[in-house]
Amino acid sequence: MNYEHLKIFYTVCQYKNISKAAEALYTSQPAISRIISTIEKELKVELFFRSKEGVTLTKEGEALYKRIEYPFNELSRLDKEMPDKSKMFDEVVYLGATVTALNCFLFDAMNEFKKKFPNVHYRIYTGSSHSILDMVRNGKIDMAFVTTPFQKYNDLRITNVYTIDNVLLCGEKYKDLANKKRSISELTKYPFILLSEEMQFRAHIDDFLIKHNVEIIPEFEADSSSVLLPMVEKNYGLAFIPSEMAKESVENKRAYLIELEEEIPVRYVAMITSSIHNRSSIVRDIREYISRISN
């Protein structure tokens, strides 16, 4: 089993489809299938489950992929950065962030460290906390910014860099609720928009509600915090939203702040890097710089 064979296996894993992998490698589907069969015969295991939709890794295939994923990610990054010779000596930093971390912290912070590190180029990936953390752990990105709470791992360095206050908002239709302090228990008869149950912010809000013996069955559930505010503004219901994301809408009276008698616990934007994968000195410098400006 040589490098080219492993590269083909890695590419099939990336695309989860032999035809698409063949297109990416400028070769034929039968050639890809033949090489995968050769690897399986050599290792005496089956690497993929085949179906009409594509392929998925077997347990043995997953084990092989985990062993080669990090070095091939690094080679893939190098391939992307090398063609433009004019930028060979510039740094490329790969960042991951959740939507809330982007809006509440990273956009503003990047203005600061772009001034400090003018020759650095950034590639930003967004997604759920879980997917972003996986990217850090697998070496696909250098640094991540996610909001608490999230699952912690021993191979991650975690630093809280920003405090997020959460507020309860309503639209024009329910603005009378904003005329005085309310208890969360008296608002359960109104429609609520919450994130789906697998989202970390939803878990944070559910803990808050449980603490105050309140049950809310949402009328709407969303899979991204980015859609909560537009839905509030269109009067679909009430929603818990980070205050930074709500500020402009409240100032322009597209949404209204419902002041609660109960205190909604704060969350944090956490900066995360791997404690296993070694990164360039510029990544360490950026990490140290963000730690300093956040304290």
pLDDT digits (tens, 9 = 90+) for 105-117: 998 888 887 888 8
The DSSP letter of residue 192 is B
Q: Which residue has the tokens 């959460």?
A: 166
Neighbouring C-beta atoms of residue 250, cutoff 10 Å:
16
pLDDT (mean) for 157-181: 94
Structure tokens at 85: 């010779």
pLDDT tens column, 256-280: 999 999 999 999 999 999 888 767 7
Tell me the three state secondary structure of residue 158.
strand
User: pLDDT-based confidence at 87, cuts 50/70/90?
Assistant: very low
Q: What is the mean pLDDT of residues 157-173?
A: 94
Contact at 8 Å (CB) between 257 and 169? yes
Q: Mean pLDDT across the chain, nearest whole number?
A: 88
Is residue 83's pLDDT more than 80?
no
Pairing of strands 166-170, 239-242: antiparallel
d(Cα 105, Cα 252) in Å, to the nearest integer? 22
- pTM, two decimals, is 0.62
Q: List own/partner pairs for 59-63 with CB under 8 A and 24 or more apart.
A: 61/13
Angstrom distance (rounded) from CA 288 to CA 50: 46
Region 239-257 average pLDDT: 94
The answer to whether residues 111 and 72 touch, using CB atoms and an 8 Å cutoff, is no
pLDDT at residue 88 above 80? no
Task: Quote the pLDDT of residue 258.
Answer: 97
Q: What is the pLDDT of residues 204-236, one digit of tens each?
A: 999 999 999 999 999 999 988 889 999 999 999
Residue 144 pLDDT grade (very low, low, confident, very high; cuts 50, 70, 90): very high
**Paired residues of 226 in beta bridges:** none
Confidence of residue 89 (pLDDT cuts 50, 70, 90): very low
Query: What's the pLDDT score for residue 27?
Result: 78
The structural domains of the chain, ordered by start, are 3-81 (1.10.10.10), 90-163+268-294 (3.40.190.10), 166-265 (3.40.190.290)
How would you classify the pairing of strands 91-97 and 120-126?
Answer: parallel
Q: Are strands 143-147 and 156-164 parallel, antiparallel or unpaired?
A: unpaired
Distances (CA, A) of 102 to 35, 198, 202, 217, 242: 42, 20, 18, 28, 12
Tell me the sheet residues that pair with 122.
Answer: 93
Name the nearest CA neighbour of 211 among 149, 148, 150, 263: 263
**Which residues make beta-bridge pairs with 94?**
123
The two beta strands, 166-170 and 256-258, are antiparallel
Render 198-262 in DSSP notation, one character per residue.
Answer: TSHHHHHHHHHHHHTT-----SEEES-GGGHHHHHHTTS-BEEEEHHHHHHHHHTTSSEEE-BSS
